[in-house]
Structure 1
């Protein structure tokens, strides 16, 4: 074989790009990383020799790479031994191809990719594992490859080693988000299983998952409270929530769209989305539609547009009947007579409904007028007579213990009013589980 092997030449060129790219970090989104890893994989898979000692079935590089560490006559770097240990204990990857790819990623991060090749070259065991007509079966080419891998050890790879999803199918990994929701007995979403993937097919617009905003139709629910979700989880999802009722819910979700690739569909998910009858075109165009809505809708990214009419201290009763009564009294100007301490604002605001609290922002300045946790809110509601007015009651825990204040708002859109009240109600109902 020629010492100027094209595979090594390509690998050298890619390594040189990494070394010259001083401004960018070498992470999972680096444009050259998938092709770089694929070139290494091709070299390791080419020319494998069937060995009864290390191969039980088909030839796989992971077999010898993980077994040679048992050779006590050779001192392997601790980083390489630790990489082997971490890959072995990973339960999400079932195939030896997947384990090889994860081992390669560990070796890049821990700068020990040279270790297995150095073992073969220095001990003269190249021919034990590889045929002569390949890179790892030739002494000279093996030495050249070792020098390239030693050079790779000078590069800092910043890879997410926890992201192993679809690694058995492709080197291009999906976007994965992990987050917490407030304690709840329901996520407000429906999933359909395609093979071992729980695909989100429907969402309650008022549910905790929709409110959080990080889950969308077409995404894959990967884990709940660190428990992996697969086909064996059918009918057991609610049980996972009930086991930790008083604790926040931890979710890991595989996104259908890849943000670093202009929010295009993550291709390995395509067959699962088709299997559950989702409209792929609609999912792909979702982000474009959202961007257009941000410009035109009254419900902007700053919150719901409405008018903060004012607030009034209503005494020691904080149920929803007080809201209707307050709105009725306000419309009759009763509070102008001085019977109660009424603070009028009539200010245009943005009404934001968050996970743990609701906030009211001045629409002109963006300044927060107040931020009220759901745990302090006792009720919310509207008036059947004065349709566009609504409000909520908050306890005065610090200033006047046992006393309540009613906050009144006005909105032009009935749909917005319904959504805001539903979201507030869901919010303070969920937080009753918080400690």
Structure 2
């Protein structure tokens, strides 16, 4: 019987890293999304399909269903968890079982109660096998206890998360920037919206209206709430009625921004809404200048605990720079990315040391050991080289885990020995197999292009 699992190992690594930060963990923490993603994968691994008792139809194999059933028991010792389940069930911002599970994880992190359902599951004889396959984390007695121990450790951390920011959890863990705005009493907000896929896209902000003050609300943003009332497709045609209920009182709006001021990048799910809206005036927003590839900052998500190689390890290569591949991260993008970089002004030539570590890669300058790149294999979606210029190779990485990323960049390197290039690519492939264990994620591709 196996007593180890790479998912649990990865989860414990992110817990250790977050433990290093004594301050409150907020949505701005770059490691939060990796912790949450690891938790989701642990809960989802090996979950069995259920049959509804009422009509006899099967439920999808998602952890949310058994967690919801457990919350509905309303056990007194599960009060915090039951409250969290009720909050998710009543929240109109999430519709899918995946979105509900993600919101539940965020709420339970804040309430420090994520261990409660797992503790009941693993310590009730036979209960775990009602919901999980025997070879899964929660279906295995020993792994279940190890997972529970990790969750108890998470309960010691301080999370301060914006639980209102839940609108796009059905699509991704990568949450958008959002803000709450209070407007003075008025009869009209001065906002026009169109409903696309159940979300209220702002298509016009009328000049001289209260909404136009200080440019806090922009065309392309999503109007998420009005005075605490969540807007959905059913709200179509009811906005005036909603406003009349609070006539003469200040109006509070919850706005989801369509782009990030820090990076100037569009938020992927809203960009998709804009494309499908069919509103012509919104389409020009898709042409918004993106961050220059040279200025892109890749978040440090490598696990320090597993950085066991010395600073002098690795292979000496030349870093040539990086270039955007847009929303595509597959191996087909590598050849064109290499050629585009070699022909543009972004091309650089920096002697570096390329290291393949336990769960990621690290690239440091040879001159002063400054870290240039530090990325997890879970971010890397593909790697390879071209037959025409085999001394150049590249890997493509997303702005977060490759199965959730909306923006990808190719990082290009040079080594004069072709056999050394092949060795580096093989080490990347081995890293994929060690760490890319999400059963729903696409497998990163390693290939030599023709």
**TM-score, normalisation: structure 2:** 0.58
Residue 43 of structure 1 aligns with which residue?
A: 42
Q: How far did 1:162 drift?
A: 2.3
Q: How far did 1:8 drift?
A: 0.8
| Residue number among 262, 280, 283 corresponding to 2:285 in the alignment | 280
SS where residue 137 of structure 1 aligns?
A: coil
Q: How far did 1:68 drift?
A: 2.5
State the alpha-carbon separation in 1 of the partners of residues 136 and 44 from structure 2. 10
SS where residue 68 of structure 2 aligns?
A: helix
Relative to structure 1, the CA distance from residue 285 to residue 163 in structure 2 (aligned partners, 3 Å threshold; closer, same or farther) is same
Deviation digits for residues 58-100 of structure 1 (CA, Å, limit 9, x no counterpart): 122112112224668x763432222122222323322222221
2:271 counterpart of 1:266? no
Q: How far did 1:281 drift?
A: 4.5
SS where residue 265 of structure 1 aligns?
A: coil
Deviation digits for residues 356-406 of structure 1 (CA, Å, limit 9, x no counterpart): xxxxxxxxxxxxxxxxxxxxxxxxxxxxxxxxxxxxxxxxxxxxxxxxxxx
State the alpha-carbon separation in 2 of the partners of residues 160 and 199 from structure 1. 21
Residue 388 of structure 2 aligns with which residue?
A: none
Deviation digits for residues 312-347 of structure 1 (CA, Å, limit 9, x no counterpart): xxxxxxxxxxxxxxxxxxxxxxxxxxxxxxxxxxxx
| Residue number among 252, 255, 258 corresponding to 2:254 in the alignment | 252
SS where residue 250 of structure 1 aligns?
A: strand
State the alpha-carbon separation in 1 of the partners of residues 290 and 19 from structure 2. 37
Judge conservation of contact 1:26–1:156 (CA < 8 Å) in 2: yes
SS where residue 77 of structure 2 aligns?
A: coil
1:1-400 equivalences under 5 Å are 2-22=2-22, 24-52=23-51, 56-69=58-71, 76-124=77-125, 125-259=127-261, 261-275=262-276, 276-277=279-280, 278=282, 279-281=284-286, 283=288
Residue 380 of structure 1 aligns with which residue?
A: none
SS where residue 179 of structure 2 aligns?
A: strand
State the alpha-carbon separation in 2 of the partners of residues 196 and 138 from structure 1. 40
Deviation digits for residues 212-256 of structure 1 (CA, Å, limit 9, x no counterpart): 431011101122333333333334433433443322222221111
State the alpha-carbon separation in 1 of the partners of residues 290 and 139 from structure 2. 49
State the alpha-carbon separation in 1 of the partners of residues 91 and 236 from structure 2. 23
Relative to structure 1, the CA distance from residue 227 to residue 121 in structure 2 (aligned partners, 3 Å threshold; closer, same or farther) is closer
Q: How far did 1:142 drift?
A: 0.8
State the alpha-carbon separation in 2 of the partners of residues 99 and 5 from structure 1. 25
Judge conservation of contact 1:200–1:218 (CA < 8 Å) in 2: yes
Judge conservation of contact 1:48–1:59 (CA < 8 Å) in 2: yes
Relative to structure 1, the CA distance from residue 271 to residue 50 in structure 2 (aligned partners, 3 Å threshold; closer, same or farther) is closer
Relative to structure 1, the CA distance from residue 127 to residue 209 in structure 2 (aligned partners, 3 Å threshold; closer, same or farther) is same
Judge conservation of contact 2:49–2:62 (CA < 8 Å) in 1: no
Judge conservation of contact 1:200–1:217 (CA < 8 Å) in 2: yes
Relative to structure 1, the CA distance from residue 263 to residue 143 in structure 2 (aligned partners, 3 Å threshold; closer, same or farther) is same
State the alpha-carbon separation in 1 of the partners of residues 211 and 19 from structure 2. 42
**TM-score, normalisation: structure 1:** 0.60
Decide which structure has the larger Cα Rg and report it: 1
The CA RMSD over aligned residues, in Å, is 2.5
State the alpha-carbon separation in 2 of the partners of residues 270 and 106 from structure 1. 27
